[in-house]
């Protein structure tokens, strides 16, 4: 089956199994290993990264399957179709995947409505946000701020995706100066929203693995200076180390799976 079709069929099957309440029977008993981080109580330490449940419409099912937390998205201010297909490639012998999906999603408003309907989920819910492809980098902060405001009422934490390799120029925001400006804007709005709503929602930033030691040091200073709540490591990689023998290795996009680990 085509990989992207398989992805959609899997999510559909999970939603059906959740409605029939059979997932716990299939998955068995999930070990309890609770941990508290930044005031969030995770029922266990195994979570689902962003990119699987892009529309936030399968949250209940992933919770019933045993995930202690689910991060949905990436969601953007406006709906967008993503990149042209095919855009998802299996590298089976290397236990890897290359994708260049391009933030395909129905937009933050639709995602938030889906989250509101996930009333049976008992874990921690993260919302991963990004900018639209057509938004120039100099205006990127406005996209992130719009998503931050929209996600605030429903998110346990918010993840800033400024490291996907599949939106042209997005990783330029990881340079120290633009990262500092973006984070300062987000932290200011976080304070405003916390004062208005009486709840604190941590902000995490998701970084690329393709950074030098010098760049890591620069970003670390920015994150510490601006008071970033947490860090997510990592997004997919542009490296093809370990998969060169596969004919698919030349496909554009981000590599994940065993080689990235």
- Alpha-carbon distance 258 to 261, whole Å? 5
Share of the chain above pLDDT 90, in %: 91
- Which band of pLDDT confidence, cut at 50, 70 and 90, is reported for residue 30? confident
Quick check: 31 pLDDT over 80? Answer: no
pLDDT tens digits, 74-122: 999 999 999 999 999 999 999 999 999 999 999 999 999 999 999 999 9
**Cis peptide leading into residue 130 (ω within 30°):** no
- Alpha-carbon distance 75 to 161, whole Å? 9
Q: How many domains does the structure of the chain reveal?
A: 1
Quick check: 28 pLDDT over 90? Answer: no
More confident residue, 27 or 182: 182
The question of whether 191 is a catalytic residue gets the answer: no
The mean per-residue pLDDT over the stretch 24-35 comes to 84
What is the pTM (predicted TM-score) of this model? 0.95
Mean residue pLDDT of the chain comes to 95
Quick check: 54 pLDDT over 80? Answer: yes
pLDDT in the model for residue 221: 95
Give the residue from 97, 71, 41 showing the smallest Cα distance to 258.
97
Kindly report the number of other CB atoms within 10 A of residue 61's CB atom: 24
Quick check: 25 pLDDT over 90? Answer: no
By residue range, what is the domain housing residue 198?
3-257
Is 1 strand, coil or helix?
Answer: coil
Catalytic annotation, pick one of 163, 164, 188, 220: 164
What is the CATH classification number for the domain harbouring 85?
Answer: 3.20.20.70
pLDDT tens digits, 116-153: 999 999 999 999 999 999 999 999 999 999 999 999 99
Q: What is the largest CA-CA distance in the chain?
A: 55
């Amino acid at each position: 089956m085509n990989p992207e079709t398989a992805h959609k069929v899997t999510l559909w099957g999970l939603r059906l199994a959740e409605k029939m309440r059979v997932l716990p029977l299939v998955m068995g008993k999930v070990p309890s290993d609770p941990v508290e981080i930044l005031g969030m109580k995770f029922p266990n330490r195994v979570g689902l990264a962003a990119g699987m449940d892009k529309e936030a419409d399968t949250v209940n099912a992933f919770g019933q399957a045993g995930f202690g937390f689910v991060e949905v998205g990436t969601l953007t201010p406006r709906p967008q179709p993503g990149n042209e297909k095919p855009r998802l490639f299996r590298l089976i012998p290397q236990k890897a995947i290359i994708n260049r999906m391009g933030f395909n999603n129905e937009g933050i408003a639709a995602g938030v409505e889906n989250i509101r309907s996930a009333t049976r989920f008992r874990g921690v819910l993260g919302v991963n946000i990004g900018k639209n492809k057509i938004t120039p980098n100099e205006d990127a902060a406005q996209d992130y701020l719009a998503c931050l405001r929209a996600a605030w009422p429903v998110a346990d934490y918010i993840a800033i995706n400024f490291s996907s390799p599949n939106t042209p120029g997005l990783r330029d925001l990881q340079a120290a100066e633009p990262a500092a400006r973006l984070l300062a804007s987000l932290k200011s709005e976080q304070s405003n929203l916390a004062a208005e709503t009486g709840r604190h929602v941590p902000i995490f930033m998701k970084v690329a693995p393709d950074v030098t030691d010098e760049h890591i040091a620069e970003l670390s200073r920015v994150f510490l200076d601006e008071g970033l709540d947490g860090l997510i490591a990592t997004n997919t990689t542009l490296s093809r180390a370990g998969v060169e023998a596969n004919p698919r290795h030349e496909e554009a996009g981000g590599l994940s799976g065993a080689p990235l680990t």
